[in-house]
Structure 1
């Protein structure tokens, strides 16, 4: 199984407001050549958490075959939901939190679950804005997408 390292970040200019995501995927082939793919997209009205989640989903959906994935994110919401098993509990509870409130962004949690299915994904938290080269690159991609033209509608966003 191929190993892929992914870095992701999301941004919103206001929360909610215009937003974007950025992702960098790295893969070293059998000949030792590194391949790099950068993804980004901007949206008219969204939230930071949605962009963090969308970055991860888009990165996983870009993979063409099952992979071992180490996905780095500065979103504790995203990382903890996976690594601490919150998602499984939310699903068991009919997409309700432990306090019986509806889980936000169910559309993206379900998209992420589907995108993860063919892969073995491990989420790793990285401190944001701490000078980590690839996290900073993802931030640049996300901010550029959020402030660019041709912003898409985040169809799952509910104000």
Structure 2
């Protein structure tokens, strides 16, 4: 049997969300990393150091989720942000946040990423990320 590079990569799901209290205002982000078929999960989160926007927090959540992976993985990244998902899948124009788009592009090249848009709070994982990102934005 021949094992391809893709078959040897770990499969990881990342659910992520960003929040902003006011837009602009204080912001927070959260990402839940899980390995499908196991109970292994890891929640990471943080807040913006300065006034920020919701779009920057959505991007930061995706970036930090991918940065948390130590080796190249097959990733399914779930977000309720059309800004993030459709820019990555439908090539929406990038008018702002160029620094974050460049970082996300670099990370997406390390991993095999499938980008999935889900409606806000449509899964328990997204609901938890929403709760934590809002909590981070008010710290």
TM-score (norm 2): 0.88
| Cα distance between partner residues in 2 of 1:34 and 1:13 | 32
| Cα distance between partner residues in 1 of 2:44 and 2:108 | 17
Counterpart selection for 2:62 from 50, 56, 64: 56
Deviations 1:77-96 (A, max 9, x none): 1000011123xxx5xxxxxx
Look up the match of 2:6: none
1:7-156 correspondence to structure 2 within 5 Å: 7-28=15-36, 33-43=38-48, 44-86=50-92, 103-130=95-122, 132-148=123-139
Q: Which runs of 5+ in 1 are unaligned?
A: 91-96, 98-102, 149-159
Checking the alignment, whether the CA contact within 8 Å between 1:23 and 1:141 is kept in structure 2 is no
Question: How far is the alpha carbon of 1:45 from its aligned partner?
Answer: 0.8
Range that drifts further, 43-52 or 11-20:
43-52
Deviations 1:85-140 (A, max 9, x none): 23xxx5xxxxxx6xxxxx2000000010111121000110010034x200000001
What is the RMSD computed on CA atoms of the aligned residues?
A: 1.3
Question: How far is the alpha carbon of 1:14 from its aligned partner?
Answer: 0.3
Look up the match of 1:93: none
SS at 2:51 equivalent: strand
User: What is the aligned length?
Assistant: 130
TM-score (norm 1): 0.78
Checking the alignment, whether the CA contact within 8 Å between 1:6 and 1:72 is kept in structure 2 is yes
Q: Which runs of 4+ in 1 moved over 3 A?
A: none
Larger Cα Rg: Structure 1 or Structure 2? 1
| Cα distance between partner residues in 2 of 1:19 and 1:53 | 12
